[in-house]
Every structure is written in C-alpha cells, then in structure tokens.
Amino acid sequence: MKHLIVCSLLAASFASAQPGILTKDLLIKYTPEWKGERFADGRPKVSDAILKRMRTVTLEEAWAVVKQAGFPHQYEDGWYLIHPDKVLVGRALTAQWLPGRPDVHRVIEAQGKVDGRIGGQNAWPVDMLQPDDVYVCDHFGLKEDGPSIGDNVGNAIYAKSGSGIVYDGAVRDINGLKELENFTSFVRFYDPSHHFQ
C-alpha cells in the first residue's frame, strides 16, 4: 500500500472547478494562522527552505508532527504512485469537483467566460499553479469516464509547477505521465477512458 500525509501545515488554497474559486479575502479568512508571505491571490506561500527541508522528512516523522498539532485526519493509504522512488513535496493548490450536471456546467462555463478563463474547466486550476505547487484534486474517486488528467493536462501541470499531483480519481495516458521525470503523483486509479461531461 502506498501512503500519503496531506500536511495541513502547508496551507492550501481552493481552486474549485465547480462551482467557483475562493476570493483572496476568503483564502485569507480560512487560513488565519498563516503569518508568512502570501501569493497575490491570497494563498500562503510556504518558504522554499521549508519545502527543501521537507524532502528529507520520513513518513513517520511527518505523521507524528501533524497528529500532535491536532490534525488526526491527514493520513490516507491505498494510492497508486507515479514514480514511487521519488518524494512529493510542495505548496498545495486544491481543487474539488462535483458530479457533472449540464445545467450547473452551463452556469460555470458562463462565469468562466466573465472571469476570462480559457480552455476546459479541468484546466482552470492548472492555470493558477506556481512553481513548486502540488495540484491536489478531489475528483470524488471517479474512475470510468472520469479521468480529466492525461498526458496533455499532466504536461501542463508539470510545466507550470515542476511537481506532481494528489488526485482522488483516475488518470489516463499513464505511459505519457511516466515520461515526466519528476511528475511524482498519488492517484487512485488508472483508466483509459476520458472525462465525460
């Protein structure tokens, strides 16, 4: 079994593809304990020095600190790893998907045009990524007709962040994703199907 600790210490932002994106004010409101630097959109910007130091921390060491800090629900196993010999560390940019509904989808698409978003909704959070970000996405464990990340979106994520993903859902084009040397990623499944709206 592959294991993952999602460290709340590395505060996340929310780039919800459905139904909307949290504003800068809301990001600051929901991360009140963060006293360090922030990105222009309000996301906490964990220092590069801390990210570098985290690359040498063992799973047990990280778990002890996170649990003692009062975050007992930040551990989960049962992941499939792309590049299991590497460590995934970065600043979390978090997206959450909802099961598709054509009526809601149309409203989101219209708002995306107003907001100047381009491409499909699965690309919107990718456009927000910064170097050393990890794209963390709750795709509600969707497998068949669910993959919204294949080698094209994976390449875009990698180009923007130089990192990988934590993706509660299925990815496709696994051979192309494995070609990305440092696309260290935790995913739930591999499925050759394509995301179906």
For 197, which DSSP code? -
Supply 143's token pair: 């497998």
Catalogue all structural domains in the chain, each as residue range(s) with its CATH number. Answer: 2-190 (3.50.30.40)
Q: What is the mean pLDDT of residues 21-40?
A: 90
Lowest mean pLDDT among 36-40, 96-100, 149-153: 96-100
Give the chain's mean pLDDT.
Answer: 86
> Which long-range contacts does 175-182 make (Cβ < 8 Å, 24+ apart)?
175/151, 176/150, 176/151, 177/82, 177/149, 177/150, 177/151, 178/82, 178/83, 179/151, 180/154, 180/155, 181/83, 182/83, 182/86, 182/158
Q: What is the mean pLDDT of residues 153-182?
A: 94
Supply 191's token pair: 């499925």
In 3D, which of 173, 184, 170 has the Cα closest to residue 141? 170
For the CA atoms of 172, 96, 160, 41, the dihedral, rounded to the nearest 10 degrees, stands at 170
Question: Is residue 10 scored above 80 in pLDDT?
Answer: no
Model pLDDT for residues 137-165, shown as the tens digit of each residue: 999 888 888 888 999 999 999 999 999 99
Q: From CA 119, how far away is CA 37, in angstroms rounded?
A: 30
Among 3-7, 21-25, 183-187, top mean pLDDT goes to 183-187
Q: From CA 6, how far away is CA 27, in angstroms rounded?
A: 18
Asked if 88 contacts 184 with a C-beta cutoff of 8 angstroms, the reply is yes
Q: Model-level pTM?
A: 0.85
| Beta strands in the chain, from DSSP E residues, in sequence order | 2-5, 13-14, 75-82, 91-96, 133-142, 165-171, 185-190
pLDDT at residue number 100: 78
pLDDT at residue number 9: 37
How many other C-beta atoms are found inside a 10 Å radius of the C-beta of residue 31?
Answer: 17
Question: Is residue 44 scored above 80 in pLDDT?
Answer: yes
Q: From CA 34, how far away is CA 43, in angstroms rounded?
A: 10
